[in-house]
Amino acid sequence: MSLLTIVFKNLRHRPTRSLLTAVGITVGIAAVVALTGLASGFQKSWEDSYRARGTDLILARVTSRDPLPTPFSMKVTDTLRATPGITATGGVLVDLMSIEDSPTILVGGWEAHSFLWTHLHVDAGRLPAGENEKVIMLGSIAAEVMKKKVGDTAQLDTESFTVCGIYTSESLSENGAIVMPLGSLQALTTKEGMVNFVNMKVDPSLDPDELARLRERIEKQLPGFETFSTTEVSQANIAVQISKGMSVATSLIAVVVGAVGVMNTVLMSVFERLHEIGVLLAIGWRRRRIVTMILLESVVLSVLGGIAGTILGVIALRILEWTPILRGRIAPDLSFLVLGGAMAVSVVLGVLGGLYPAWIGSRMSPTAALRYE
């Protein structure tokens, strides 16, 4: 028998109460896993979409922080192309469109013949031939959701487009999207000559200092514009920031609610066992062993809830990933960082919840506790 034996037996002695507390923690930690996984996955897939294209830098308006930033004239690409260190550019116009019976889909207009197209793996059909060809390419998940194949037509806004190809990309968000020649999307959305971003490839031999100087030069040449690395652009994205903020806020609420729940349970248990604590002190247990026992009860309870909550959160995310409305739109991050983070939250919650009861228990005088029956 060890201290842990006593801890587990104490928790099992009041099974309903322990179970209900653990269930409360399970739900809280599941919410932490789900929201953190979604937010982190959202940021990651945003970054992936740039990395997959081979983009090194992105140009956007200074004020633009939303996923569909303010459009601007693509004449700036002339300046960029003339800037030493930039090896290629590709203008991108993006829009969200509701297409036929399918849920809203991200539609990207990419500059024809730019490097943006080269990373796509064409599963069927072909790439668009020219800037104003009235064709679209569907990401593999978008094709599945829209139930379209090469040669079919799709109604985008007021016009009909032919599906010229179906592609797969390393980026999940691209797989759930539609891409088309930039000119066609500009015409469709009456944004002729406009883009939301310019993707740039830079000379790979540039070191970080030279890259920083290049960015300064671009921003000086183009007032009102800002350059972003792929990580920065996803971090600066207001949607990413909101989703991360919501996940942090939910996690904090889960910690506070969970800690109060654990504290309530452990405190009740300590008050019910004051005479036992008195006996333990009388027979020679040091106060720190009492503190350890009570904290362990609290931590074991919350870690058990944390394990169940992590599993539940992962299951919930997997289910969400396969629901028709979200399929291809979310790529939850279930990395060790996210899952380990949720477990760490449960440990913190257990320690916080156990501190006050442990303090109460350890402050008892053995004689007072022995009288407490």
Partner 1 sequence: MTPPPLIEARSLTREYDGGAVVALRGATFDVRAGEFVSITGPSGCGKSSLLNLLGALDTPTAGHVRYDGHDLAAIDDLAAFRARTIGFIFQSFHLLPTLSAIENVQVPMLESGLTRAGRRDRAASLLGAIGLSHRCHHLPAKLSGGERQRVAIARSLANEPKLLLADEPTGNLDSASARSVMALLQQIHRDRGMTVILVTHDAQVAATGTRTLAMLDGLIVSDTAAPAHGSGQES
Residue 87 φ then ψ, to 5°: -100, -20
CA distances from 191 to 59, 174, 203, 238 (A): 18, 22, 31, 23
- Asked if 363 is part of the footprint of partner 1 (rule: CB under 8 A), the reply reads no
Contact 32, 251 (CB under 8 A): yes
* Binding string, residues 310-349; x marks residues near partner 1 by CB under 8 A: ----------------------------------------
- Asked if 286 is part of the footprint of partner 1 (rule: CB under 8 A), the reply reads yes
Which residues does 116 contact at the CB level (< 8 Å), separation at least 6? Answer: 53, 55, 90, 92, 110, 199
Beta strands in the chain (DSSP E): 57-61, 72-73, 86-98, 104-110, 121-125, 135-139, 153-156, 159-168, 178-181, 194-195, 197-202, 225-229
* Binding string, residues 194-223; x marks residues near partner 1 by CB under 8 A: ------------------------------
Name the residue nearer to partner 1 (CB basis): 356 or 372.
Answer: 372
Name the residue nearer to partner 1 (CB basis): 32 or 280.
Answer: 280
Question: Could you say which of 123, 131, 276, 321 contacts partner 1 (CB under 8 A)?
Answer: 276
- Asked if 10 is part of the footprint of partner 1 (rule: CB under 8 A), the reply reads yes
Question: Could you say which of 279, 307, 316, 348 contacts partner 1 (CB under 8 A)?
Answer: 279
AA letter at 233? V
| Residue 300 beta carbon to partner 1: minimum distance, rounded to whole angstroms | 14
Name the residue nearer to partner 1 (CB basis): 266 or 339.
Answer: 266
- Asked if 365 is part of the footprint of partner 1 (rule: CB under 8 A), the reply reads yes
| Residue 349 beta carbon to partner 1: minimum distance, rounded to whole angstroms | 24
Stretch that binds partner 1, among 58-66, 127-135, 280-288, 342-350 (CB under 8 A): 280-288
Contact 143, 177 (CB under 8 A): no
Which helix (H) or strand (E) element contains residue 51?
Answer: helix 15-53
- Asked if 270 is part of the footprint of partner 1 (rule: CB under 8 A), the reply reads no
- Asked if 3 is part of the footprint of partner 1 (rule: CB under 8 A), the reply reads yes
Q: Of 17, 8, 15, whose CA–CA distance to 265 is shortest?
A: 17
Q: Which of residues 127-146 bind partner 1 (CB under 8 A)?
A: none
AA letter at 271? F
Q: In this structure, what DSSP letter does residue 108 have?
A: E
- Asked if 65 is part of the footprint of partner 1 (rule: CB under 8 A), the reply reads no
Site residues for partner 1 per CB under 8 A: 1-3, 5-6, 9-10, 12-13, 275-276, 279-287, 289, 365-367, 370, 373
